[in-house]
């Protein structure tokens, strides 16, 4: 029997330990691959790919209107970072809170309700009370899947996601019903917070786009980093994700971890919603939410589930939003193209990530 | 039954069978995928792509049957991205599934521009009026379009394939213990890839039913969470085809009932009625999951775990 020489094939081989180089190199590689694939997509749509990529990634930073657009970056990055850090804590422990969008909406509704309930009282305590209420709203909404998981072993992915649709219905009810502006001449939407200074999340430093939400995001990133690297709870989160059995022997209670991670991520999403609705969005309206809760999932992975990485990823994703709006007004690029672009980014990231844990080896196939 | 107002139970049953088709198809497909040990959370994305693909093909060719095939092809094509990432690049299945949904929603809203406000060719009832006009059994048994019968037939076929055939045994082996299946010489990742593509085609066909029959037109995000509900129904059904059918019909019934109550003006605010399907899904998940941990709920043992053959 004559043996034929086999073809040379690429084989995957598991690395003994994850590669530190690829851990940090995958996000930039994924971004570059996304730019190439996105460029092909834009070209297929009849746009000049180089012009689109430049409009998205360069113009907001250094272009003609950069003085204004740079400020917009932090406005968009703030909520993304805030939500993504919460999600990353859970993802690390293998707890999948996918319903951040719902927690974001509920935080906004509860936070805004507290402010609107005392309208038009002027007091310095109103805004802090709204911050607490916003965090509570998101926390309470996240506690539903958390408690159902710990008590009844219900899948948190599905429950938290179902609750997004429920939250959207409540939002519709709020903006056409119980929070509707009584002086709004019948239009849906609550009172606008820009005309209620005590409850408004105004810019602290407008050229940078810095409002309290941005401050909260950056402070949270530092605190989360300390929690993960220096604190017992952070150690337990990492351990539960990497070695669930070892974590149980170590005395980590899975139920407590679920409540902690879901609660934290819910509260942070609620905070983000509250800061958004009292600041950039201005009022509770049927569609004030723009899907930050879902985009934050991409941000969390792009930032390698690391709080400091998430800050960078948040700014990058904000760049695609701000630049995408520019490309939409100047070049007529549909908004959906940006959504596709963001989706591709996550795909490429997940694909390139194989290099962190595996390496490719050339091998001669046996047949 | 006076809270039902003027709702006719015969019409109700007939409509729920049709309204359950999208989630039934998607959930059946996902059942096979999960029995093979793969958790594809991208059902919503595959459904919405199928809805668009089916719509475009049906409008351009004028044939609804080709539309459903187009929907299946679109769903399967999208699912191959998931298959590539999880089976070749060994990416995390949960993250990849979510990415698939985000990507699918984006691609469909990009590709659907220019298709708003068009009516697709109608999918008529399969059997002659003489049968469909019979009292009671007419609307319930004979008055449907072919997809309703097809979805029931698929339930039976999948039940038989999974339970009594060699292919079904291989799929279940791969899903219960990929190490053992590999040791027996089965190509774990290749089998899983085929299951994923099958699940994508089923979800795409289900999505096409939304845009071609249920709505019927193209709007962004047309599936409105049906894919997630399909995932919940798989859990509800303990990964068994006939129970998937029961779950989908229960769910279809609730959806139809709340729509009817909205129309009938039951005094319950519309918002609370329209959140009912989601709340009931959660309730059902709680009932099905309560007190049953690990293997007892029927989940495939290797569900969600990637397989890498070291040799």
Q: Average pLDDT, whole number, for chain B?
A: 87
What pLDDT is stored for residue B292 in this prediction? 61
- Whether A41 is in a domain gets the answer no
Parent domain of B83: 21-235
Backbone phi, psi, residue A121, to 5°:
-60, 140
- Whether B298 is in a domain gets the answer no
Work out the minimum CA distance from B295 to partner chain A, whole angstroms: 12
Task: Indicate if the pLDDT at residue B6 is higher than 90.
Answer: no
How far apart, in Å, are the Cα atoms of A156 and each of A29, A153, B8, B173, B225?
A: 32, 9, 37, 27, 16
Parent domain of A171: 46-333
- Whether B287 is in a domain gets the answer no
Question: Average of pLDDT values for A1-12?
Answer: 60
- Whether B138 is in a domain gets the answer yes
- Whether A7 is in a domain gets the answer no
What pLDDT is stored for residue A90 in this prediction? 92
Window from A263-277, A317-331, B202-216 with minimum mean pLDDT: A317-331
The C-alpha atoms of residue B134 and residue A292 are separated, in whole angstroms, by: 52
Which residue does chain A place closest to B297, by CA atoms?
A153
- Whether B195 is in a domain gets the answer yes
What pLDDT is stored for residue B60 in this prediction? 92
The C-alpha atoms of residue B203 and residue B28 are separated, in whole angstroms, by: 8
The C-alpha atoms of residue A61 and residue A55 are separated, in whole angstroms, by: 10
Write the ipTM.
0.84
Q: What is the 3-state secondary structure (H, E, C) of chain B?
A: CHHHCCCCHHHHHHHHHHHCHHHHHHHHHHHHHHHCCCCCCCHHHHHHHHHHHHHHHHHHHCCHHHHHHHHHHHHHHHHHHHHHHHHHCCCCHHHHHHHHHHHHHHHHHHHCCCCECCCCCCCCCCCCHHHHCCCCHHHHHHCCCHHHHHHHHHHHHHHHHHHHCHHHHHHHHHHHCHHHHHHCCCCHHHHHHHHHHHHHHHHHHHHHHHHHHHCCCECCCCCCCHHHHHHHHHHHCCCCHHHHHHHHHHHHHHHHHHHHHHHHCCCCCHHHHHHHHHHHHHHHHHHHHCCCCHHHHCCCCCCCCCCCCCC
- Whether B173 is in a domain gets the answer yes
The C-alpha atoms of residue B158 and residue A127 are separated, in whole angstroms, by: 57
Q: Where are the alpha helices (DSSP H) in chain A?
A: 20-44, 49-57, 59-62, 66-92, 100-117, 126-152, 156-173, 212-230, 232-242, 244-249, 254-278, 292-302, 307-331, 335-352, 354-357
Closest CB to A162 among B41, B81, B228: B228
Say yes or no: B231 contacts chain A, CB-CB below 8 A: yes
User: For residue A96, which residues of chain B lie inside 8 Å, CB to CB?
Assistant: 94
User: For residue A334, which residues of chain B lie inside 8 Å, CB to CB?
Assistant: 109-110, 113
Which residue does chain B place closest to A174, by CA atoms?
B271
Number of domains in chain B: 1
Give residue B5's pLDDT band: very low, low, confident or very high (50, 70, 90): low
- Whether A325 is in a domain gets the answer yes
Work out the minimum CA distance from A198 to partner chain B, whole angstroms: 31
What pLDDT is stored for residue B196 in this prediction? 96
Task: Indicate if the pLDDT at residue A75 is higher than 60.
Answer: yes
> How large is the C-alpha radius of gyration of chain A?
23
- Whether B9 is in a domain gets the answer no
Give residue B293's pLDDT band: very low, low, confident or very high (50, 70, 90): low
What pLDDT is stored for residue B108 in this prediction? 92
Task: Indicate if the pLDDT at residue B294 is higher than 70.
Answer: no
User: For residue A152, which residues of chain B lie inside 8 Å, CB to CB?
Assistant: 286, 289-291
- Whether A165 is in a domain gets the answer yes
User: For residue B83, which residues of chain A lie inside 8 Å, CB to CB?
Assistant: none
Number of domains in chain A: 1
- Whether A8 is in a domain gets the answer no
Give residue A2's pLDDT band: very low, low, confident or very high (50, 70, 90): very low
Which residue does chain B place closest to A334, by CA atoms?
B110
Task: Indicate if the pLDDT at residue A106 is higher than 60.
Answer: yes
Mutate which: A166, A297, A321, vs B, most B CBs within 10 A: A166
Closest CB to A157 among B41, B107, B286: B41
pLDDT in tens, B273-286: 888 888 888 988 88
Closest CB to A155 among B105, B107, B285: B285
Question: Average of pLDDT values for A154-165?
Answer: 90
What pLDDT is stored for residue B304 in this prediction? 80
CATH label of the domain that carries residue A261:
1.10.3470
What pLDDT is stored for residue B112 in this prediction? 87
Closest CB to A350 among B41, B95, B290: B95
Which residue does chain B place closest to A344, by CA atoms?
B103
Flag if A169 and B271 touch (Cβ within 8 Å): yes
Window from A272-281, A293-302, B260-269 with minimum mean pLDDT: B260-269
Work out the minimum CA distance from B104 to partner chain A, whole angstroms: 8
- Whether A232 is in a domain gets the answer yes
Closest CB to A339 among B94, B106, B232: B106
- Whether B132 is in a domain gets the answer yes
Say yes or no: B222 contacts chain A, CB-CB below 8 A: no
pLDDT in tens, B106-150: 999 888 888 888 888 878 777 777 777 777 777 777 878 899 999
- Whether A175 is in a domain gets the answer yes
Question: Average of pLDDT values for A267-278?
Answer: 94
- Whether B50 is in a domain gets the answer yes
- Whether A339 is in a domain gets the answer no
């Amino acid at each position: 029997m004559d043996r034929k020489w086999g073809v040379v094939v690429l084989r995957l081989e598991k690395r003994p330990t994850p590669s530190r180089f690829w851990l940090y190199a995958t996000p930039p590689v994924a971004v570059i691959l996304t730019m190439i694939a996105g460029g092909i997509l834009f070209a297929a749509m009849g746009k000049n790919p180089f012009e689109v990529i430049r409009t998205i990634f360069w113009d907001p930073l250094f272009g003609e209107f950069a003085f204004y657009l740079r400020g917009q970056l932090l406005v968009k990055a703030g909520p993304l970072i805030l939500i993504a850090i919460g999600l990353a804590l859970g993802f690390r422990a293998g707890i999948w809170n996918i319903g951040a969008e719902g927690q974001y909406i509920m935080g906004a509704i509860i936070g805004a309700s507290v402010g609107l309930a005392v309208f038009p009282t002027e007091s310095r305590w109103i805004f802090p009370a709204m911050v607490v209420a916003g965090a509570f709203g998101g926390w309470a909404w996240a506690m539903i899947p958390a408690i159902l998981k710990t008590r009844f072993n219900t899948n948190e992915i599905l429950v938290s996601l179902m609750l997004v649709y429920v939250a959207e219905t409540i939002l519709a009810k709020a903006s056409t019903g119980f929070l509707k502006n009584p002086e709004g001449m019948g239009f849906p939407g609550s009172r606008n917070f820009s005309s209620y200074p005590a409850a408004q999340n105004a810019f602290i430093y407008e050229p940078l786009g810095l409002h309290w939400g941005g401050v909260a995001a950056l402070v949270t990133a530092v605190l989360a980093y300390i929690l993960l690297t220096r604190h017992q709870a952070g150690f337990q989160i990492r351990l539960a994700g990497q070695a669930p059995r070892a974590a149980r022997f170590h005395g980590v209670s899975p139920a407590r971890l679920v409540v902690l991670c879901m609660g934290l991520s819910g509260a942070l999403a609620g905070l983000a919603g509250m800061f958004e609705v009292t600041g950039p969005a201005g009022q509770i309206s049927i569609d004030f939410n723009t899907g930050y809760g879902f985009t934050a999932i991409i941000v969390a992975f792009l930032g390698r589930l690391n709080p400091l990485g998430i800050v960078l990823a948040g700014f990058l994703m904000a760049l695609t939003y701000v630049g995408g709006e520019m490309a939409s007004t100047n070049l007529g690029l549909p908004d959906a193209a940006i959504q596709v672009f963001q989706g591709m980014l996550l795909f490429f990231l997940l694909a390139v990530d194989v290099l962190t844990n595996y390496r490719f080896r050339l091998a001669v196939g046996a047949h | 039954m006076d809270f039902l107002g003027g709702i006719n139970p015969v019409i109700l049953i007939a409509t729920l069978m049709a309204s359950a088709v999208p989630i039934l198809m998607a959930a059946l497909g996902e059942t096979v995928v999960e029995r093979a040990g793969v958790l594809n959370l991208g059902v919503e994305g595959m459904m919405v792509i199928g809805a668009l693909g089916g719509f475009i093909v049906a409008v351009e060719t004028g044939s609804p049957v080709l539309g459903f095939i187009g929907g299946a092809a679109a769903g399967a094509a999208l699912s191959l991205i998931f298959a590539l990432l999880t089976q070749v690049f060994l990416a995390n299945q949960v993250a990849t599934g979510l990415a698939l949904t985000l990507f699918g929603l984006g691609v469909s809203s990009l590709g659907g521009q220019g298709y708003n406000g068009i009516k697709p060719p109608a999918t008529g009832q399969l059997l002659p009026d003489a049968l469909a006009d019979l009292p009671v059994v007419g609307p319930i048994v004979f008055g449907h379009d072919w997809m309703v019968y097809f979805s029931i037939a698929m339930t039976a076929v999948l039940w038989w394939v999974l339970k009594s055939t060699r292919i079904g045994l291989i799929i279940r082996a791969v899903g219960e213990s990929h190490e053992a299946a590999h040791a027996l010489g089965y190509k774990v990742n290749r089998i899983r890839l085929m299951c994923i593509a099958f699940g994508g085609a089923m979800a795409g066909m289900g999505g096409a039913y939304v845009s071609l029959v249920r709505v019927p037109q193209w709007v962004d995000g047309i599936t409105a969470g049906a894919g997630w509900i399909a995932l919940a129904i798989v859990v509800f059904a303990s990964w068994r085809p006939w129970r998937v059918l029961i779950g989908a019909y229960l769910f279809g019934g609730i959806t139809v009932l709340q729509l009817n109550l909205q129309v009938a003006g039951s005094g319950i605010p519309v918002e609370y009625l329209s959140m009912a399907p989601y709340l009931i899904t959660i309730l059902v998940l709680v009932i099905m999951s309560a007190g049953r941990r690990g293997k007892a709920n029927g989940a495939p043992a290797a569900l969600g775990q990637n397989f890498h053959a070291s040799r």
